[in-house]
Each structure stands twice: as C-alpha cells, then as structure tokens.
Structure 1
Amino acid sequence: MTRIGLVVNPVAGLGGRVGLGGTDGPDRARAALSLGARPLAGARAAAALGELAARAGKPTRAGFPAPGSGLLVVTAAGPLGADSVAAAGLAAQVVYAAGAGRDTSAEDTAAAVRAVVAEGVDLLLFAGGDGTARDVLGALGSLGDVPLCPVLGVPTGVKMHSAVFAVSPRAAGEVAAAWLARTGNVRLRDAEVMDRDEDALGEGRVTSRLFGWLPVPDVPVRVQQRKTGSTATAPDAVGGIAAEVAERVGAGLLALGPGSTTRAVAASLGADVSLTGVDVLALRPGHPPRTVAREAGEDALLALGPAWIALSPIGGQGFLLGRGNQQISPRVLRAAGGRAHLLVLCTEAKLAALGGRPLLLDTGDDALDAELSGHLPVITGRRRTSLYRLAM
C-alpha cells in the first residue's frame, strides 16, 4: 500500500480575503477570524487528496479499482490533517493527536511533520504558506538519521514565494500521483524555501529571503517557480501603462492589486497606494485620483460596487490571481464583470522574463478560473498590448 504523509496548517491563508496578509502568529489568526475569515486550508488539502486518489487507481482486468483504494494517508488528528483525509474519503493513520480541537501553532506543525515522517511515507504533502514551509524545513532538519522524504506543498497560504508548492491544490494531487507512479521520468529537484523579507518591505521593495531547500518532484508547469525580487521599473514604461489605464477606466473606480508595478502605476497617476494591499481609487479625467479605500478586504470591495481591477503578475512565478491578492475573490471578480473589467499590467521586460510560461490562476473557484483562462491583452505601455495566455 502507498503511504502518503499529510500535515495541514489550518490557519494558513486566513488573513487573505479580509486584507490582513499572512497569518503568522496566533494574534493575526484570531484577528482574521474576528473579521469573518473562513478557514480554507482543510478544503484545499482535501481537493489535492481527491485529485491524487482519482489518478492513483491503475487499470485491472476488472476495470479500475475504487479511487484511492491503495492509499493510506499518515497524518495528524482533526484540522491538522485527518479532517481533510475524511473529506476526501481516504483511509487515515493518525500518528499525532496534540493540536486537534484547539488553537494550533508552528510547534504543532513541526511535531506533526516529525511524527508523520518517522512512520515512513513515500511523499509528504503539507498544506500552508511560506511560514508553514519554513516550519517543515526546520522539522525535517531536526530528524537526524531519518531519511529525508520528498515533499510537496499544497498552496493554502497568502504569499507563497517558495518553489516547493504546486500551482494549485489539484495540481498538487496531479504531481503527487505522477511521482508515486514514477510516470514521465519524474525526478526530484532541490526547491527553494523562501519568505518575504520584511526589512526590504519597509524600504518599499517586495523581495524574499532564502531559508533552505527541500526535495520536490519536478513536474514543469505544475510546480511553481520561486518569486524573484522586484526591480526598478522604467518611468516611461510605467507612465505609458498609467495613461492607458486612465483612458480605459475613464470616470470610475479602479481597484489596484498589490505589487511594485501597480504601485508605480498609481504613483504615475498621482496616488500613493500600499505595496502589499488592495487599494481603490476613484478616477475622473482631468482630476487627480481620489483614494476611496486602502488595504481593502473582500467585503469592503464588494460594498464599493463594480470597479475595474488592475493586477500585475508576480515576478518569476507569473501568478496573476491567488497569490497575495485573495481579497480579489471570485465574488469580487464576478461583481466586477470578470474578464471584461480585468486589466493586466506588465512591462515588456517582466513579461519576457517568464519565457513564454503562462500567467497563472488559482482563485479557488475552478469554474471561474476556466472562464478567465485563455488569451487576454496585457497592457505593456501607451497603446501597447501583448496577447498573453492565462491558465489554471
């Protein structure tokens, strides 16, 4: 029987839709819950397991066995893993019980990882964000003589700058199945564990620090790249993009996603916006923009009514939705009119650095991601667009 390890950080991603950013530390998690945040990590972990189970069955003379019938998930109790295993309809072996039914912590994550890996698993899945990846790295590093097993992250956090995550929960199940079946000559690669550099953020730059490496199944396109640091953007390129945005929006509301590119565009329009939040500007031809919301969460964006949404992909990774901008939720996107009112902003240099890889979507709503997929104009300057592919 194939043995899969699973550890879930149940508070990962809580702060995303309510505009709090990450949820490192119990205080921020409690604040997110008080604002109405709903835990999503368990459901996303279950989606990954469901995809793995669907792909794990091998044909026999009698047809295909029941999905996941040859899988045993070694995990922790309750929201740390067992709940997700039950939701996916798979068999679980619970090897860590502390942390179930109460506030969980980084120590619970590390202890659960050590207990799961000590039982012997073919692959360790963990659901969380960059902080969780750091906890997993530290836990595995403390195991001494225990063999290091392959690892794969199910993306459930807010930022996820690390290269240890699949591009979506279902992609995680796909990668896990390919690794376990050894199809397509899947090999391991050492992938970077990164986290946001808070000192650089204070200086107005979004960049990451390297904390180490973990062995990850190498399936191109289905496993994400690490985020590259923001670089200086040419003023003429930004000015051209800003002029094009102003002309398209005319008189109306413009919600700007986080990032150095969108912040530079806002500055060119005459507004100062946050680097990591979603801000909303009221534009009117011939007048300076007016800020109507700063670091808005999902509810605030919905309350403001339909707005144009301007986003720039994450450098190196290519994510357009689902990384660092969860406030712009499926509900917000549909209220705005979907593709018709989505403005993708990117300099030609940043777009070229993707090497032809698509812009990525991971909103958590498969139907919406499919609707948004396909080719979309990317604004690269004044009267300049590049038709580029969006994929889930």
Structure 2
Amino acid sequence: MKLGFIVNPIAGMGGKVGLKGTDGPEILEQARSLGAIPESPNKAKKALESLLPLKDKLQIFTYPGNMGEKEAIEVGFNPIVIGQIGDQLKPENTEEAARKMVQEGVDLILFAGGDGTARNIFNAVGTSVPVIGIPAGVKIHSGVYANYPKAAGDVALNYLQDDEKKTKEAEVMDIDEEAFRKGEVTARLYGYVKIPLEEDLVQNTKSGALGSEEDALEGISNAIIEEMEPEVFYIMGSGTSIRAIMEKLNLPNTLLGIDIIKNKQLVASDVNENQILDIIGDNSAKIIVTVIGGQGYIFGRGNQQISAEVIKRVGKDNIRVVASKNKLLSLDRRPLLVDTGNEEVNSMLSGYIRVLTSYQIESFEKVKGL
C-alpha cells in the first residue's frame, strides 16, 4: 500500500489572529507578526496516528521537512522523502509534491490544509488518484475534507484496507480572500476530485439557507436583544444570522469576523483571539454563534478567533447558538459539530444544546465534539 502525505504548514495560521486566511506572503507575514503559530502540523499528526496499524505494510511518500517528513517521523513512520523545497514555501510546492506522488503510484493522497491547498491538489491530480483532506485551514468550503483530523486518518485507513475502494466525486471550492476580509463571499467551484466513499466521516460542501430567512432572523434578533444583560460582553460570531442581530442594534458588523458589544454598543470590531481575551478579561461574557448551513459546525470553521481558550474563559453555559429551522433541516438530522483543536473543550461542548430558531422558539440539538 502506498500513501502520499502532504502538509501545508502555514494553513490555518490566520484564523485565531482574525486574518481569515493565509493566502499570499504579505498576509502570512502579518499573521506571524500577530503571534500566529502553525496549526496544521499537529492536526496532520492526529490523522496519521490512525494509520499506525498499517505501519509495517504502508509506504508513505512525503515531501521534506515540515511538508510531511517531520510529522511522519514524529508519529513513528519511516517515510520515503521525495522532491525538494526552497527557503520559502509556495503553492507550487504542494502541486509538485502531488504530481510526484501520482508518478510513484500512490493509492491515496492524504493532505492537510484549507481550500487553497485543495485547489493545489486538484490542479495537480484532477481525478487521477483519490484524495482526502485533513481540515487545517481557515476556509473549509470544499467537500474534500474529513469532519476532523482523526477522521481523515480513519478514512484513509478504511480505504487502504478496503478491497473494493469505492470513491465519489467531491467539489473543490474556494473564495477570494481579499473580498472575504471585506465581508464579501464570492465562492467559486474549481472542479472535482475523487475521495473515498465515507458519508459519516466526510463533511458536506458548505451550503446556504433553504428559502427565505427573513422572518426567522427577525425573531432571533428580537429575542437575543431582549436577553442581553447590562455590563456583559457579547462576543458576536460570524455569519448572516449574527449580522441580522447587529443590524437590529444599528451597529456595524464584520460579517466574516468577530465583533464584541457591551450594553448594546460596539466595543471592538473584527477581533482576534488575543484581543478577545484582553477585552473580556475576567468579566462576564457570552458567546453568540450560528450554525454553518449544510455542515453543522458551530466552532472551528470560520470563527477560529473564538478559540478553545476563549470558550473555556466564557464557559459552556454562556454560549448561545442561533439558527433558523431551515438551516437545521439542511443538516438532515446530523449533529452540530465542534472542532476547536482542544479535546477537553470539544468534550465539554458535546451533548445537547439549545438552539434559538425564532422568537421564543428553541430546538434541542445534539452536539458532537470532534
């Protein structure tokens, strides 16, 4: 059995510091100046650990250093290192790595990154070899990613051991990061890749709402505003459901970022993880978030600024989830998902949670920590 293993070591670095991605050297440098640290290497290792039962039967082809070699060795594998990288990592390195792995005849490519990385993989391999993504980026709109890092390893393990090796086509999506930072979502379909057929472990492509949301958002906004307590910081998540609340308060809103309000007034806009922690300190605070339609994530996709540390500081009882009934129906009875990168926090949030679906109407939904 042959596995290609690729890590984009900078994927996800812009999340907690509020940059909504790391496409381009200038944004990467800005992320580092804000204290961002690599997220994808540890997530890649979690996925690779699932493959340890195949250690003596599996050849892993990877790229040098922190593009896979380092992570594979730390997990306990003896990888075959191919190719070379320069002093500065570029998207072309990912594409070159994937092409070389196809030439080596790998059965599957396991890669860690975000939508930009998925595009690179698509450019290199098309549908010539199945792939599965380890979710590590800020933008995860594509349908090529497992629900969480360990699940990606489980998908790879199952596929490599399956004699039938069933696959399906999945969309590779990406958005314009520059427009994204301005609050505009311009998603584009770049093509399709083959992924292992694993319905329960692979996320859906992000979808919008079903039908009109106006009445539901009006009710949600009125209810949340009535609930707001004086002298409490409210950490307002991203998305159109939260934007409706901010508009009702006549406050500016960062559609794809995190804002903080207190006494129904804006305290700070488009904050990162450290700014959130500094602002709320030891004071009373609540988090208001919505659900990603079609996927079900409430934490860990598009709102990484609300990190595990922020969630621990605020506490589970002070988290308010809002989503229209249509958005919940789009999940087809699947649970809401939490992928903070911290197993303790993921476990803490697991169970059931109240979701406000309209004015004075709530639904109890199951939450699964990943």
Q: TM-score, normalised by structure 1?
A: 0.88
1:245 aligned to 2:224? yes
1:69 aligned to 2:48? no
**Equivalent position of 2:289 in the other structure:** 311
**Equivalent position of 1:65 in the other structure:** none
**Equivalent position of 1:228 in the other structure:** 207
Question: Could you tell which deviates more after superposition, 240-249 or 169-178?
Answer: 240-249
**Equivalent position of 1:94 in the other structure:** 81
**Contact residue 139 and residue 301 of structure 2 kept, 8 A:** yes
The one-letter code matched in structure 2 to 1:76 is Y
Q: Structure 2: how far apart are the matches of 1:177 and 1:387?
A: 34
Tell me how far 1:228 sits from its aligned partner.
1.3
1:116 aligned to 2:94? no
Q: Structure 2: how far apart are the matches of 1:20 and 1:182?
A: 40
The gaps in structure 2 that reach 5 residues or longer are: none
1:294 aligned to 2:272? no
Change beyond 3 A, Cα 1:203–1:104: closer
The one-letter code matched in structure 1 to 2:58 is L
**Contact residue 129 and residue 158 of structure 1 kept, 8 A:** yes
The one-letter code matched in structure 1 to 2:201 is R
Aligned pairs (5 A) from 1:1-392:
2-53=1-52, 56-57=53-54, 68-99=55-86, 102-141=87-126, 148-182=128-162, 187-196=166-175, 206=185, 208-229=187-208, 234-251=213-230, 252-283=232-263, 289-305=264-280, 306-337=284-315, 339-391=316-368, 392=370
**Contact residue 83 and residue 97 of structure 2 kept, 8 A:** yes
The one-letter code matched in structure 2 to 1:295 is D
Offset from partner CA, 1:332-367 (integer Å, 9 cap, x none): 000001x20111110111111211111111110112
RMSD, aligned CA? 2.0
The gaps in structure 1 that reach 5 residues or longer are: 58-67, 142-146, 284-288
Question: Could you tell which deviates more after superposition, 290-299 or 265-274?
Answer: 265-274
Matched positions, count = 365
Q: TM-score, normalised by structure 2?
A: 0.94
The one-letter code matched in structure 2 to 1:190 is E
Q: Equivalent pairs: percent with the same residue? A: 39
Q: Structure 2: how far apart are the matches of 1:73 and 1:168?
A: 21
**Contact residue 8 and residue 40 of structure 2 kept, 8 A:** yes
Offset from partner CA, 1:212-270 (integer Å, 9 cap, x none): 00000121121000011467753332222122222333121111111111111211232
Tell me how far 1:207 sits from its aligned partner.
5.2
Q: Structure 2: how far apart are the matches of 1:17 and 1:205?
A: 20
Offset from partner CA, 1:151-184 (integer Å, 9 cap, x none): 000111001100000011001011111111118x
Question: Could you tell which deviates more after superposition, 242-251 or 219-228?
Answer: 242-251
Change beyond 3 A, Cα 1:230–1:206: farther
Q: Structure 1: how far apart are the matches of 2:158 and 2:333?
A: 24
Question: Could you tell which deviates more after superposition, 265-274 or 72-81?
Answer: 265-274
Partner SS for 1:91: coil
**Contact residue 208 and residue 228 of structure 1 kept, 8 A:** no
Partner SS for 1:36: coil
**Contact residue 71 and residue 90 of structure 1 kept, 8 A:** no
**Contact residue 186 and residue 219 of structure 1 kept, 8 A:** no
Q: Structure 2: how far apart are the matches of 1:108 and 1:200?
A: 25
Change beyond 3 A, Cα 1:297–1:115: same
Q: Structure 2: how far apart are the matches of 1:4 and 1:96?
A: 15
**Contact residue 130 and residue 157 of structure 1 kept, 8 A:** yes
Runs of 4+ in 1 over 6 A off after TM superposition: none
Offset from partner CA, 1:25-69 (integer Å, 9 cap, x none): 11111110111000011111111001222xx35xxxxxxxxxx23
